[in-house]
Chain A
Amino acid sequence: MPWSKIKPELIEPDFNQETKENGRLLSYAEAVREALDQALDLDPNVFVMGQGVDDPTGMFGTTLNLHRKYGTDRVFDTPLAENALTGIAVGAAIGGLRPVYLHNRPDFLLLAMDQLVNHASKWSFMFGGAVHVPLTVWACVGRGWGSAAQHSQALQGLFMHIPGLRLVTPATCYDAKGLMLAAIADNNPVLIIEHRFNFRRQGFVPEGPYRVPVGKGIVRRTGKDVTLVAFSYMVIEAFQAAEELLKDGIEAEVIDLRTLRPLDEELILSSLAKTNRLVIADTGWKTGGVTAEISALMAEKGFYYLKAPILRVASPDCPTPAGFSLEEAFYPGAQEIASAARSLFNKGG
C-alpha cells in the first residue's frame, strides 16, 4: 500500500547549493530523525513522545529506534489522549524539560486545541512572562491514497490565527532538520506542520547540528517578472511552475516562507517591489487561510507595487475526497500556479 510507505525516490531541486558540498544525501525522514537524535544527544532535557514513536516504522522513520538509543523514558509511546498529553507536555515544559510531541496527522491536533490554544500559546503572556513553554509539536499532513476528509487536513490556516504560537512549515530536507533543531531550542511553543509528499524526496543535509532561524523565509529561485510565494510541499510545485513559466519567457521568483508565524513579510515585500506580481500557493483551504492573510498583508503594505491582482492557489472549500479522480480536482499544483501566473500577463498587467 503506497499510503503507508512513501519511498524517497526523488531528489529535491538544487535548493541549497552551499550544502551540496558539505552535506550528504539523506531522505526527508532521515533528516528529521537526525535532528531528533542530535537534540536528544545534546540536551538531556529533550524528550520525544507520541503515538507510535517507538513502533517498528518509527513515525514514517523520523523516530526509528531512537527509543533503543535513548531509552523508553525519553522516547515513549503515548495513550491516544491528545488533549491531556498536550497539556502534560506543556506541564513538562514548564517544569524545565523540552518535549517534542509527534502526531502522524494534524487532524488529531483538533482534539488538543484546548491545550494548544487556551494554554500553551497563552501561558507566557497570561502570566507576564513568569513562565515559558518550550514545547515542539509536530504533525504531518496526509495526502493521497484516499486519505480522505479526516486524515489529510492541512490546518495551518487555523493555527496561523493564534498569537503566541510559532508555526513552522519546512519544504526541504535541510530545513526539516534545521527547523526542527531551531524549534526544540526555542523557549516558546512551536508547531511544525509537515507534509507527507515532502517525504518522497532526498536532499543534501550537513552532518552536524545547525538551526534554520524561525521567522525567516528564503528565495529559492530568483526572477524578475512574478513572485510565487509558497511553503511546505507547495514550494516544490512552485519551483516546477517557475520552470514551466520560463518556457513562456516569464521569470518567476520563488519564495519559500519556511515559517508562517512569525511571517517574513519583508522578504515578500522586497520581492514584490521587484516583480510587481504575486501568486500565493497553499497546501490547505483558501477561505480565511494562509493565502488570505498574506493577500491582505500585501494589499495593506504592498498595494502600490502591484500591477495586477494578487492570485491565490489553494484547495477549494470542501473536505478532501477519498477517490483519486476527485483528489486530482481537489489538489492544485504546478499547473495551477503556472496558469495563475500567466494570467497576470494575459490581462494586460
Chain B
Amino acid sequence: MNSKYPQELLVSLYRDMLRIHNVQLRIESLYHLDEMKTPIHLCIGQEAVAVGVCANLKREDYISSSHRGHGHYLAKGGNLGALIAELYCRETGCSKGRGGSMHLVDTSVGHMGSSSIVGGGIPIGTGLALAAKMKSQDRVSVVFFGDGAADEGVLYESVNFAMLKKLPVIYLYENNQFSVCSRVSARQAGEILFHQAPPELLMSRIVDGNAVLDIYEAVGEAVARARRGSGPSFIECRTYRVRGHAGSGSDAKLGYRSEEEIMDWAIKCPVTVFGEDLLRGNMISEAERSKMVEEIKREIDEAFRFAQSSPLPKGEDLLHYLFDE
C-alpha cells in the first residue's frame, strides 16, 4: 500500500470510485425496463480515471466531457439526483430532460456541458482555459476524451493552440482501446504523437488507467504546472472499456473481442483492486467498507426515487432554452 498519501485521501478516492461503479451497476440493472429512454455509455472499469483526475481539482476548476461521461460528472461533484433524473428525461434532470445521458451539465461544480460529438468537447475545454487565463482566474481546465477523439484533427488544432498560448489545460486521454467495435490499433499507427512533443511545450505522461494513485499523481503534476502558468499537459490513461459501446451488459457475443480478453481486464477492476489494497494495508476495515456500500446504496435509492417521481418536461415548453432572451 502506498503510504505517502493520507488515509483520508485514500479512503475518499475509494469511496468516489465505488460510488461511480455502483451507480453504473444500478443504471445497468434497470436499463432493460426501458424507463430510461436515452442511450447509455457506461464507464465500468474506467472509474479510476475520473476519480484520480478530479481529486486534484477545486470546485471552480473546469472539466469538459464526452458521451461516456457519468463518471466525470460524479467525480467532479455533479449532483447525483439530477444525473439520474436526466436519464429519466425529467424536468429536474441536470439538463432539464433536454440533454439525456450524453449531455450532462452542472455549472455549480465547473462542469460546463458534455458533447456527444467525438472530440467536440476538446476545443471547448481549451476555450474554458483561455477564459480562465484571460480573466486571470486561478482555474484549470481538464479535457476528458477517448481514443476515438484522438483520431480527430480537432485534437491537434486544440493542443497546438494551448501550447501556443500556454493555457492552463490538461488533455486527459482516456484510452479505453475501443471506438464502438473498432480497436485503437486499427485506427492509429502507433503511440499517439503528443508524447513526442517538447516537454517545455507539453508535459506528457502515460499511466496505468486502472491505478487511481498513479493517475492522481500524474494529474497532480499537470495541475500544478497549469496553475504555475507553465502551460498544458497531455496525460494518457491506458484502461479498458469492459462493457459494450452503448447499453447494458457484455457485448462478447459480437465477437470483435474475446471473452478472455474482457475477463483479463475485468479482474483488474480499479475499484475492487484498490479496495483490497486498502483492506490489506489496514486503511479501511471490512465493517467500514460495508457501511460505505450501504450509504452509497441509500444515496442511489434516493436518487432513483427522486428521478422516477419527478415531472416530465411539457410539450408546450418544447422551444424553451433555445436562446437566452
Contact = CB atoms under 8 A, between A and B. Distances in A.
A195 to B, nearest CB: 25
Contact of B107 (A45, A73, A114, A131): A131
Interface string A235-263: 00000000000000000000000000000
Contacts of B160: 79, 81
A126 B103 contact: yes
A188 B323 contact: yes
B98 to A, nearest CB: 5
B18 interface: no
Nearest to B62: A95
Contacts, number: 153
A114 B153 CA distance: 12
B134 interface: yes
A84 interface: yes
Nearest to B110: A95
Interface stretch (A10-18, A85-93, A322-330): A85-93
B105 interface: yes
Interface in B278-325: 320-324
Interface string A68-101: 0000011000110101111111111111110000
Contacts of A164: 322-323
A115 B123 contact: yes
Contact of B112 (A78, A87, A94, A115): A94
A79 B158 CA distance: 10
Nearest to A132: B324
A184 to B, nearest CB: 14
Contact of B127 (A87, A114, A118, A131): A87
B117 A88 contact: no
Task: Among B107, B131, B164, find the residue whose CB has the most chain A CB atoms closer than 10 A.
Answer: B131
Interface string B86-124: 000000011111110001010100001101010010111
B98 A127 contact: yes
A87 B126 CA distance: 8
B98 A125 contact: yes
A124 interface: yes
Given A79-B161, A125-B321, A88 B123 contact: yes
B261 interface: no
B64 interface: yes
Nearest to A115: B123
B98 A126 contact: yes
B69 interface: no
B120 A87 contact: yes
Contacts of A95: 62, 112, 127-128, 130-132, 135
Interface residues of A, number: 41
B131 A128 contact: no
A88 B95 contact: no
B157 interface: yes
Contacts of B55: none
B275 interface: no
A96 B122 CA distance: 18
Nearest to A164: B322
A316 interface: no
A51 interface: no
A89 B115 CA distance: 16
Given A92-B130, A128-B95, A128-B96, A79 B123 contact: no
B322 A125 contact: yes
A129 interface: yes
A70 to B, nearest CB: 12
A125 B64 CA distance: 17
Interface in A263-318: none
A84 B105 contact: no
Contact of B105 (A45, A90, A92, A127): A127
A340 B163 CA distance: 56
A80 B128 CA distance: 20
A96 to B, nearest CB: 6
A124 B324 contact: yes
B120 A85 contact: no
A119 B161 contact: no
Given A81-B157, A81-B161, A87-B126, A92 B134 contact: yes
Task: Among B120, B134, B158, find the residue whose CB has the most chain A CB atoms closer than 10 A.
Answer: B134
Interface string A38-73: 000000010100000000000000000000000001
A163 interface: yes
A95 B112 CA distance: 9
Contacts of B141: 91
A79 B321 contact: no
B161 A91 contact: no
B148 interface: no
Contacts of A73: 134
A129 B113 contact: no
Contacts of B97: 128
B56 to A, nearest CB: 20
Contacts of A132: 324
Given A81-B158, A83-B154, 19 more contacts: A87-B122, A88-B123, A89-B127, A91-B123, A91-B128, A92-B127, A92-B130, A94-B128, A95-B112, A95-B127, A95-B131, A114-B120, A125-B322, A126-B103, A126-B113, A128-B105, A130-B94, A130-B95, A130-B107
6 contacts: A84-B126, A85-B161, A86-B123, A91-B112, A115-B123, A187-B324
Q: Which 5 A-B pairs have the closest CB atoms?
A: A91-B127, A87-B123, A95-B131, A128-B96, A84-B157
